[in-house]
Structure 1
Amino acid sequence: MLIRTEVPSDILSIDALLKEVFDTPAEAELVMALREQGQRTLSLVASSDEGDVIGHIFFSPVTVDGQDNGWQGLAPLCVKQDYRGQGIGQTLMQEATEILAELGYPVVVVLGDSQYYHKAGFVTAAEHGLHCSWPVPEESFMVQELLPDSLNGHQGLVAYSAPFSALS
């Protein structure tokens, strides 16, 4: 398996993977809209030894109480069904957060399975006075500090970019 940055020739494979993995095409449409609107901060793929895209992770900017602090939202993350349970998703997250930290992005937020994301170092955002703009269970909205002390002094509403509104 190889983890690398998305290249233009991956777009159709990523789109097909997202449509295969998720129940609706909403996530595929979201990723396409984020790309088109210049909201892609980082997009990585995991590819098989044969070169097929088997995993994908995408990050886009979020704001905290209307301020852009360089924070990123992780969405979506997916792994092809036949390859699940092999640690590919966790490896994608680890590689991505290392890259984001190297680039100076201080914090990542995610909305998802708390047990899964906790393994990657995420904690409940509410512990830091942060909340999501959608009515979701508190334990599902999580945060990870990539650069030391980046969460200090930041509380309030975390808002995703406009294309996310189409999901609700």
Structure 2
Amino acid sequence: MLIRTEAPVDILPVDRLLKKTFETDAEANLVMALRENGNRTLSLVACNDDGEVVGHLCLSPVTVDGQDNGWQGLAPLTIATEYQRQGLGLALMTEAKNILAELGYPVVVVLGDPNYYQRVGFTTAADHGLTCRWDAPVEAFMVIELLPETLAGQQGTVEYSAEFSAL
């Protein structure tokens, strides 16, 4: 498996992967809108030995109570069905965490399955005084600190970019 930054040639394969792995086209439309509006901070793909895109991860800016502190929101993350449960999603997240930390991005938030995301270090955001605007179980909104001491004293409502409003 090769994990790399998304290139223009990956746009259509990523779109097909998102449409194939999610129940609706909402996530594919979200990624396309983030891409078109320049609101992606990092987009990674995982390719099999034949060069086929079999995984994708997207990160985009979020704010806390309207303040941009360089925080990122992870959404979406998808792996082709036949490649799931092989550690590929965790590998994508680990690579993303390393890249973001190197670039100075301090925090990532995610709304998803706690049992899955806790495996790479995410913790419940509410434990840090953080909430999101969506009606979701409190344990599903999580955060991970990439740069030490960033979460100290931070609290408020995390807002994703406008493209997420269409979901």
Shorter-chain TM range is: over 0.9
Matched AA of 1:11: I
**Equivalent residue pairs, number:** 167
> What is aligned with 2:84?
84
> What is aligned with 1:138?
138
Q: Return the alpha-carbon distance in structure 2 between the equivalents of residues 25 and 48 of structure 1.
A: 24
> What is aligned with 1:44?
44
- The CA RMSD over aligned residues, in Å, is 0.4
Query: How far did 1:135 drift?
Result: 1.1
SS of equivalent to 1:119 = helix
Q: Return the alpha-carbon distance in structure 2 between the equivalents of residues 132 and 36 of structure 1.
A: 24
> What is aligned with 2:163?
163
Gaps of 5+ in 1: none
> What is aligned with 1:57?
57
> What is aligned with 1:14?
14
Find out whether 1:119 has 2:143 as its counterpart: no
Gaps of 5+ in 2: none
Q: Return the alpha-carbon distance in structure 1 between the equivalents of residues 153 and 69 of structure 2.
A: 12
SS of equivalent to 1:164 = helix
Q: Return the alpha-carbon distance in structure 1 between the equivalents of residues 38 and 52 of structure 2.
A: 25
Query: How far did 1:148 drift?
Result: 0.2
Matched AA of 2:27: E
Encode CA deviations 1:66-120: one digit per residue, 9 max, x unaligned. Answer: 0000000000000000001100000000000000000000000000000000001
Q: Return the alpha-carbon distance in structure 1 between the equivalents of residues 24 and 110 of structure 2.
A: 20
Query: How far did 1:10 drift?
Result: 0.2
Q: Return the alpha-carbon distance in structure 1 between the equivalents of residues 156 and 145 of structure 2.
A: 16
Query: How far did 1:34 drift?
Result: 0.5
> What is aligned with 1:73?
73
Percent of paired sites with the same residue: 68
Q: Return the alpha-carbon distance in structure 2 between the equivalents of residues 114 and 85 of structure 1.
A: 16
Encode CA deviations 1:107-146: one digit per residue, 9 max, x unaligned. Answer: 0000000000000100000000000111110000000000
